[in-house]
């Protein structure tokens, strides 16, 4: 079960100079793939489907619930940035700054929500729950979460650089800090679960079932020898998971030419596609 605090915000949300363009950009932090609806639902669905040690389920529940509060903060920030947004063509007709604002804002903020946030990204795409990555494998989930928080922090950093509004900068300082923590949190959990030993994920599948010629080789797919393969930590030496040795080889097809033969006469094809 879940509870609320009567709308009290986790951290301060003040807007000194409302700007509908910034409201549009902030939407990415609500409904974007790097946004708070995503991590909220992702952590909660991971928790709700969690099997095995209870502590990961518990931790996911803690942070999933925190993210609800972040959506709330950002929704408030969007609404406040929309105060005084231009709604009338006539006024904007000869004022280039106002017309640029009218053209640049998410016009749905004006015509469909009475100046409130929507669960959409900065391009106006509604958030779609296929981005709620919950695999049932706890190590894979920790990586998904670390990745989500990495791009989430990138987004918050860009928004911080974009705005010169004091209140918004303060709010973003808070959100960036939480992203730092959460990024650390998921990687720490990944480490606790085994770090390198987590890999290859899933680690409950016997690797002897894999084809051994292919599982630690970096295959190049360059057209010819004039393109030397890029070298790095991945091209030689002990593999990251410590279970193999990296090699580099050019890839060559071994599977023969694909051939599906003729079409069945039951299929709606052209005459020439059927067996003659």
Restricted to residues 96-125, the positions that interact with a second copy (CB under 8 A) are 96-97, 99-108, 110-125
Residue 36 phi, psi (nearest 5): -80, -30
Cβ at position 27, least distance to a second copy in Å: 9
Q: Which of 41, 166, 167, 249 touches a second copy (CB under 8 A)?
A: 41
Phi-psi region of 39 (alpha: psi -120 to 50; beta: other; left: phi over 0): alpha
Q: Which of 15, 16, 18, 21 touches a second copy (CB under 8 A)?
A: 21
Q: What is the DSSP string of 151-164?
A: HHHHHHHHHHHH--
Restricted to residues 192-211, the positions that interact with a second copy (CB under 8 A) are 192-194, 196, 198-205, 207, 209-211
x/- mask, a second copy, residues 123-162, rule CB under 8 A, reads: xxxxxxxxxxxxxxxxxx--xx-xx--xx-xxx-xxxxxx
* CB nearer a second copy, residue 39 or residue 117: 117
Phi-psi region of 190 (alpha: psi -120 to 50; beta: other; left: phi over 0): alpha
Cβ at position 39, least distance to a second copy in Å: 13
Does 39 participate in binding a second copy (rule CB under 8 A)?
no
Q: Which of 16, 36, 167, 261 touches a second copy (CB under 8 A)?
A: 261
Burial class (CB in 10 A: 0-12, 13-18, 19+), 169: middle
- Does the annotation flag 109 for ligand binding? no
Instruction: Tell me how far the alpha carbon of residue 179 is from its chain's centroid.
Output: 13
Residue 229 and residue 248 in contact, taking contact as beta carbons nearer than 8 Å: yes
Q: Which of 19, 23, 36, 39 touches a second copy (CB under 8 A)?
A: 19
Restricted to residues 225-244, the positions that interact with a second copy (CB under 8 A) are 226-227, 229-234, 239-241, 244
d(CA 213, CA 62): 43
- Does the annotation flag 4 for ligand binding? no
Angle at 170 between CA 18 and CA 189, to 5 degrees: 125
Cβ at position 240, least distance to a second copy in Å: 4
Q: Which of 15, 39, 166, 178 touches a second copy (CB under 8 A)?
A: 178
C-alpha pair distances (Å), 167 with each of 14, 194, 273 = 5, 41, 67
d(CA 38, CA 182): 14
Does 7 participate in binding a second copy (rule CB under 8 A)?
yes
Total interface residues for a second copy by CB under 8 A: 202
Does 249 participate in binding a second copy (rule CB under 8 A)?
no
Does 54 participate in binding a second copy (rule CB under 8 A)?
yes
- Does the annotation flag 182 for ligand binding? yes
Does 23 participate in binding a second copy (rule CB under 8 A)?
no
Cβ at position 195, least distance to a second copy in Å: 10
**What 8-state DSSP symbol labels residue 58?**
H
Q: CA neighbours within 13 Å on the CB side: how many for 154?
A: 9
Q: Binding site membership for Mn(2+): which residues?
A: 36, 67, 70, 149, 182
């Amino acid at each position: 079960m879940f509870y609320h605090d009567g709308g009290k915000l986790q951290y301060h949300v003040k807007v000194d100079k409302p700007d509908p363009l910034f409201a549009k950009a902030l939407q990415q932090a609500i409904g974007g793939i790097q946004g708070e609806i995503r991590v909220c639902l992702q952590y909660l669905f991971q928790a709700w489907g969690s099997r095995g040690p209870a502590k990961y389920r518990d931790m996911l529940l803690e942070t999933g619930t925190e993210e609800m509060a972040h959506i709330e903060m950002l929704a408030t920030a969007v609404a406040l940035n929309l105060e005084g947004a231009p709604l009338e063509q006539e006024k904007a007709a000869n004022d280039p700054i106002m017309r640029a604002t009218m053209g640049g804002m998410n016009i749905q903020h004006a015509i469909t929500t009475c100046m409130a946030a929507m669960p959409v990204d900065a391009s106006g795409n509604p958030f779609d729950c296929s981005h709620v990555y919950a695999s049932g494998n706890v190590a894979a989930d920790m990586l998904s979460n670390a990745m989500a928080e990495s791009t989430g922090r990138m987004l918050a950093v860009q928004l911080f650089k974009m705005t010169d509004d004091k209140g918004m900068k303060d709010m973003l300082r808070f959100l960036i800090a939480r992203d730092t923590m959460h990024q650390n949190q998921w990687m720490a959990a990944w480490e606790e679960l085994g770090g390198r030993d987590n890999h290859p994920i899933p680690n409950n599948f016997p690797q002897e079932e894999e084809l051994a010629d292919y599982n630690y080789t970096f295959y190049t797919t360059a057209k010819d020898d004039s393109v030397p393969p890029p070298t790095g930590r991945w091209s030689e030496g002990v593999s990251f998971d410590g279970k193999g040795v990296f090699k580099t080889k050019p890839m060559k097809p071994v599977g023969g030419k694909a051939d599906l033969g003729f079409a069945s006469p039951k299929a709606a094809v052209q005459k020439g596609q059927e067996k003659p």
